[in-house]
Structure 1
Amino acid sequence: MAPESGSNKREAFSAALRRYPQYELAIRRLMAQSEAFCDMCEELAEAELALSKVDRVASAVREARRAEWQDLIDRLVAEVGTALLDKDIVVKPRAGR
């Protein structure tokens, strides 16, 4: 594992947690079980970072890039949420056991 990989995972976890703090346990479990979920969260973290730096882009394309990054973030947040809701059915504490 590359040294950067652990940092990427932390950033990915943080990106998902900022959006869905009530699902911390589900996020942790999904990140441990699903490479696809990890990738989605990493993409979210990268898109958030890119959006935070959009003011450095040439003014002629800045607003277009801002809109593109925001659209990507919105789509990734929705995908993460869908994954968490699907997984939440599995990770809810079982009553009566």
Structure 2
Amino acid sequence: MGTRSEGAVGRNGLQSATRRFPARGPEIETLLARDENFRGMCDDLAAAEAALAATVHLPENLRMARRREYEELIKDLAEEIAEALERANIVPISRSPRY
């Protein structure tokens, strides 16, 4: 069992995904709420970003290799998230006022 609460993990995933795709925030929120696999991708993205940031604390002989690994993982996850958003084809509908 992890030390982070389930809600915090989901929030981090939402933040990471919306940072990469700011115009698709509402779609991301909708898909996060209904698709466990999408949530996992977003949470993995958040974890990879945190791991990338933590590479500054690694010994110099490991730092660059780990940075490249995490940068590649982040790139791949962002592509998967973009594909999932396209497949979901979520169209936000705004209601017009009734007269």
TM-score by length of 1: 0.87
1:20 aligns with: 21
Poorly superposed stretches of 4+, deviation over 2 Å? 89-94
8 Å CA contact retained: 2:26, 2:92: no
Bigger helix share? 1
The answer for the alignment partner of 1:5 in structure 2 is: 6
Shift of 1:25: 1.1
- Secondary structure in structure 2 of the residue aligned to 1:8: helix
Q: State the TM-score, normalizing by the size of structure 2.
A: 0.86
> Within 2, Cα distance between the matches of 1:85 and 1:50?
27
**In structure 2, distance between residues paired with 1:17 and 1:90:** 15
CA distance in 2 between counterparts of 1:55 and 1:13 reads: 24
Alignment match, 1:65: 66
Q: For residues 13-92 of structure 1, what are the structure 2 equivalents within 5 Å?
A: 13-87=14-88, 89-92=89-92
Counterpart CA distance in 2 for 1:56 and 1:92 is 42
- 1:12 is displaced (CA, Å) by 0.5
**Cα distance per residue 1:50-97 (max 9 Å; x no partner):** 00110111111110000000000000001011111121x243439xxx
Instruction: Provide the secondary structure at the position in 2 that maps to 1:53.
Output: helix
Structure 1 residues without counterparts, runs of 5 or longer: none
Q: Distance in 1 between matches of 2:87 and 2:31?
A: 11
Aligned residues: 92
% identical aligned pairs: 34
Instruction: Show structure 2 runs of 5+ residues with no match.
Output: 95-99
CA contact (8 A) 2:51 2:70 kept: yes
